[in-house]
Structure 1
Amino acid sequence: MKARLIAAASAVAVAAGVTGGIVLSSPASAVNTTMCGQYESAKVQGGDYIVQNNVWGTSATQCIDTTEDGFTITQQDGVNSGGAPTAYPSFVWGCHYNNCTNDFAPIKASSSEFDTIGSKATMKYNGGGVWNAAYDVWFDPTARKDGQNTGAELMVWLNKSGGAQPVGSKVGTVTTAGGSWDVWYGNSGWNVISYVRTTAATSIDFKVSDFYDDAVQRGYAQDSWYMTSIQAGFEPWSGGKGLALSGFEVTKNGTGGGTTPTPPATDEPVIPPTTEPTTPPTTEPSNPGTGTGAAKCNATYKVTQTWGGGFIGEVTVKNTGGSATKNWKVDWTWPAGQKVVSSWNASAAQTGTKVSAGNLSYNAAVASGAGTQFGMQVEGASAEPKLTCSAA
């Protein structure tokens, strides 16, 4: 699934050494670089942060003008009328698909260090389009630095336009980080918990635990998981030109000053389907299960997201036997040449139109009557093949 801010820089820009926290990295001179490559990125502030173009939901051109602590979208030609956004141009602290900032190690959510980590930044908005302005904070059950996180994607939406809405459905409202937030929950192969400010804001100064503690209490996240990155930027479906991020910082011992409200943007009467993950998922490095005995499982399939040229499929494996499985495997044949681009919570291998997906080490054992899920990003027209499940 995803994924991710402060008012006009002249008013409340944050610099190194400001009261309220020890800045983990200090601003340097601006790089003033234009990025138009699909996955183009660069390390800034001596490698303390990464700025990335991150166009993953379209083949159309997107360009950003970057500085040492922010960027502006100068061209955004992609238009997705439904399904996934076109991109997530953003600043990153941590690891994004093994592209890591200086000396970063994933931080366990139960640690005292995690309780001190915060962030602040500034957002500038345009007058239309379909987009969100959001933080995207990622968590994984392991201290991983590469690939798709499978724990939780915590999104903090400061603003939205054109009817954009998060994955899933609204499950509550909470007051934290200087504002009131609608809480949304969904699943894209991992839990997606989105906090959408009820009144739009142009800035934020918060601790990650302000939101993550609430997600844990709701049962959507776990203290045993590791935070792998903090990202901030925009998810445009269309009309993203002019959106800008500045003053991005990750802080330690920050006060969590809250948000700076701004008049809400005028939403157009267009409501795209739910948000897709802000980075394409990747396959876990494991071998498919080899259970070939009497069937002890069944598998059901559904398409959770679609966009031009691809879709997200989700498979639920249920143990129908009398004891826990040692491994499981699901086989199917695509009807029209679809291709698995990547998968999560399973190891998938495709030969021609035939696909075999097996368990990973952590989800091989499924208790009797229980189930587990895996997902995949697929290239081609949306399809629902017939599945065969085997287990041992």
Structure 2
Amino acid sequence: MAKVWQERLDTLREVILADIARGDYYGLVLTVGRGGEKLFEEALGAQDAAGERPLRLDNVFSIFSTTKAFTNILILKAIEEGRFALTTKVRDVLPEFTGKPREEATFYHLLTHTAGMPGVWTPKPGMYLDRLSELYEATIEAVHGAVEPGSRCDYSPLVNHVLMGMALVRTDPKGRDYQTLLYEDLFAPLKMDSTSMGLRADLKDRHVRPDMRGTVPIKHLSRNIEGDHALFEDPATESPHVGCASTSGDLYRFAEMLRRGGELDGVRILSPRMIAVARQVHTGEMPNELYKAAHLRAGWQVAPAYMGLGFNVRGTAIVNHQLGTLTSPQTYGNYGAGSTLFWVDPELDVSFAATSAGVMTQTANIERFQKLSDMIVSAML
């Protein structure tokens, strides 16, 4: 049986409720387990600013860039299947990806955010962001290499995962589209029944419509539904970087698969060896160029990027970090803009999955999840 300091978990609940009461965000659904045993699973606060719709454990959230984690895992799976390698140049799978210096980038560079292209939020201003084929065509045309691959770490909000999504479709032996591929190879096997690319029709009634609160710098336009961020409500969305919806419980199952070395309930997604390599730091002490300015504006020390193969890793430096300062250096996971986070601490054997309402600014969100992550691990005995 997992040992936990219950008084600390009670304090955690009180702190979350106090943050919500102060208006930091509207509500949070948090699931935490150790060694496969759930220790904390609660829905706190509300879906909306008025506090009129309490959150439930089964609420479905737009998880923004946490979507990238699913794309990453399928890329690692494709590598294990021999469809291409970490060292394969992207242009060898996607021959349209030409032009120096970007054409020297490999899948390793895409996964570690070191491909040398700028961190753009959209390939072209004002375009729809809901179709993989159009995102890919615009990326090929408009997003060019800025530096040699491997020379700096510049987090890619969109481009890298559009390229990886198209590579998965192009090399899929069954010829499936991206929505089907995600469902059949990841969500269905892991019984992530409330997770989908695009807002599946049966999830709509449980969906917490994202309130950006002025924190997101671009619009997420859909051709099918009106609204600045309608992409998150469109069931036909196919955006490998940002388009998924999920629950805290499903993200916890995903984290548990990783904690268990790539297997859950008898279904194996990845090998233990791949996960061991993927959760190592592959970017040394390079900073994350896209977020360096935000750290400086906040008066923080600029943190190393600490990127694994698609994962954010906690690393050894004591800096402002969503994954905490008390978690083990090997802790790894992924996040979604101002709202969503999952992580696995392999040393403490802990899995963490949180979804929240009321999107926070980047630095406020880092402080929020750093605090909650540290409180969680301090409760472990």
Question: TM-score normalised to the size of structure 1?
Answer: 0.26
Question: TM-score normalised to the size of structure 2?
Answer: 0.26
Structure of higher CA gyration radius: 1
Q: Which one has the bigger strand percentage?
A: 1
Q: Which has the higher contact order (CA 8 A, sep 6+)?
A: 2
